[in-house]
Structure 1
Amino acid sequence: METISCFIVEDDPQAFAYASSIIETYQHIKIVGTSNTIKEAAMLIKELKPDFIILDVFLIDGNAFEFLPLFDSIDFKIIFTTSYAKFAIDAFKFSALDYLLKPYEKKDLILAIDKVVSDLEKTNYQQQLSTLMHNISSKEQSKKLILKTTEAIHVVDIKDVLYAKSDNNYTSFRLIDGKSILVSKPLKSFDEKLKEHRFFVFTKVF
């Protein structure tokens, strides 16, 4: 198997050592660099061009949402890690991006790494990151929601959704323009994301 390169951006020595020890159990993954600051990390990542990075959301000199705009384009995958920060966690959920909530278990990082490795060739990642940045900088009513179907990824303004209707393990989103988007996830998987948006009317089909 071809070697996959990883870069770790982390300012907590214990968290860094923990992540490193897990990654080192993979024979085909190599840690090519590390940093504990945004500016240094951006410079090194541009030079080393890793396949994926593990990025702590909050660092000593800023946060991940100041880090991402330092790149003209992002051609690496990201495993975000964060201590509890509600605004950040909500933004990840709406953008359909994964994150690890500290302190995370070994199995959680292993699952995240395996998912990143399997997704290295996917081309819609930039769209998801753009949605994340929009949600971080926007007011609640203008947030966007990523809806994945079997054919495509749809970026939808939450204010444009009339209601979501559940049918067993599927959820149908009805938009104000009359369009319907069917997602192969149960309604309950969206409950936490949407519970604060009062204009949503959820209808279950029995």
Structure 2
Amino acid sequence: MIEVVLIDDEKDSTETLDILLKAKFPDIQVIAKFNEPLAALEFLQKNHFDLLFLDIEMPTLNGFDLLREVQKDDFEVVFVTAYDQFALKAFKYSAFDYLLKPVDLEDLTTCIAKYEEKKLQLKARLEHLQKMVRQSGSGIDKIAVPTSQGFEFIEIKDIIRCESDGNYTRIFFINQSPMLVSRTLKDFDELLEDQNFVRVHQSHLISLKYLRKYVKSEGGYIEMQDGTQITVSRSRKDELLNKLNFLTFN
């Protein structure tokens, strides 16, 4: 699923684009629409999304100024405007694409197809990197995760846990802020299966290195070194205990 945000000071424009996307592109989910750029700023800062369809000429804050205020770069921007003279400047802002109003369905289809192709290429490159890492032996100490610019290599020893967030995974570290990655928890489970990680719940993968305690009461839960408490699902309990070499009694 591709999560999309629409920003345009003209309500008719956001509504029309919303209708087009929902009618023609089943893999698109419009998660937010804004007709006031200042109101959109906080949402953009705090939430994950894949594509931003952004008008340029808007009162109070134009599209270029809005992008300068957003302190993140894990998304692609498609400028949507009635003025083609902004095209050169838009691509200087690393725009993924540029659509003229009124938005033509063929142009929109090409834009979405290009984005999907880019995602597939990134996925293929990441899978290749992961395969190379696995083949290099058990002494690996880093994994590659996709970003909007390519890949970032992170130290396995710094990962406390991974938590599912839909089709994404949020990685928690011992010494830095969490990172939201466009890969499923299943992908990380497979990648880290030989690195002393264990899946304790459908939504949680933990590093045994940072496990503080396991409590059998109340159905069973664990506590990590960062204080996070996670319920151990019944179907995952035996795997956890086997990894810890615990002896259980009926």
TM-score range for the pair, normalised by the shorter chain length: 0.5 to 0.7
The 5-angstrom pairing of residues 92-171 of structure 1 reads: 92=90, 97=95, 98-120=97-119, 121=122, 123-124=148-149
- Deviation, 1:78, is 1.1
**Residue in structure 1 matched with residue 54 of structure 2 by the alignment:** 55
Q: Give 2:8's aligned residue.
A: 10
> CA 1:82/1:29 → structure 2, altered by over 3 Å: closer, same or farther?
same
**Which AA in structure 1 matches 2:50?**
D
Whole-angstrom CA distance in 2 between matches of 1:51 and 1:35: 16
User: 2 CA distance for matches of 1:123 and 1:48?
Assistant: 15
- One-letter amino acid of the counterpart of residue 61, structure 1: T
Residues 6 and 30 of structure 2 are in contact (CA less than 8 Å); yes or no, is this contact kept in structure 1?
yes
Q: Distance in 2 between matches of 1:29 and 1:60?
A: 28
8 A Cα contact 1:8 1:54, kept in partner: yes
Alpha-carbon offset, residue 123 of structure 1: 4.2
Give, in angstroms, the shift of residue 41 of structure 1. Answer: 1.2
- Report the structure number with the largest CA radius of gyration: 2
C-alpha contact (below 8 Å) 2:8/2:37 kept by paired residues: no
1:117-138, Cα deviation, whole Å (9 max, x unpaired): 332447448xxxxxxxxxxxxx
Give the C-alpha shift of residue 91 in structure 1.
1.9
Aligned counterpart, 1:24: 22
In 1: Cα distance, 2:118 partner to 2:8 partner: 23
Q: Report the residue type matching 1:90 in the other structure.
A: L
Superposition pairs of residues 189-204 of structure 1, within 5 angstroms: none
Unaligned runs of 5+ in 2: 123-146, 151-250
Within 2, Cα distance between the matches of 1:78 and 1:70?
Answer: 14
Counterpart secondary structure, 1:24:
helix
Q: Which fold has the larger relative contact order, with Cα–Cα distance below 8 Å and residues 6 or more apart in sequence?
A: 1
Q: What's the TM-score, normalizing by structure 2? A: 0.44
RMSD of the TM alignment (CA)?
2.2
Which of 78, 84, 88 in structure 2 is aligned with 1:90? 88
Which amino acid letter does the alignment assign opposite residue 42 of structure 1? L
Judge conservation of contact 2:56–2:63 (CA < 8 Å) in 1.
yes
Say if 2:79 and 2:90, in contact at 8 Å, map to a contact too.
no
TM-score normalised to the size of structure 1? 0.52
Number of equivalent positions: 122
Helix, strand or coil at the partner of 1:78: strand
* Structure 1 position 63, deviation (Å): 0.7
**Structure 1 residue 43: Cα displacement:** 0.8
SS in 1 for 2:31: strand
Distance 2:80 2:74 in 1: 19
**In structure 2, C-alpha distance between the alignment counterparts of 1:43 and 1:17, rounded to whole Å:** 21
Distance 2:107 2:4 in 1: 17
Q: 1:93 to 1:72 in 2, by over 3 A?
A: closer
Q: Percent identity?
A: 21
2:15 alignment partner, SS class? helix
Per-residue Cα deviation, 1:97-143 (whole angstroms, up to 9, x for no partner): 42111123111112112222332447448xxxxxxxxxxxxxxxxxx
The residue that corresponds to 2:221 in the other structure is none
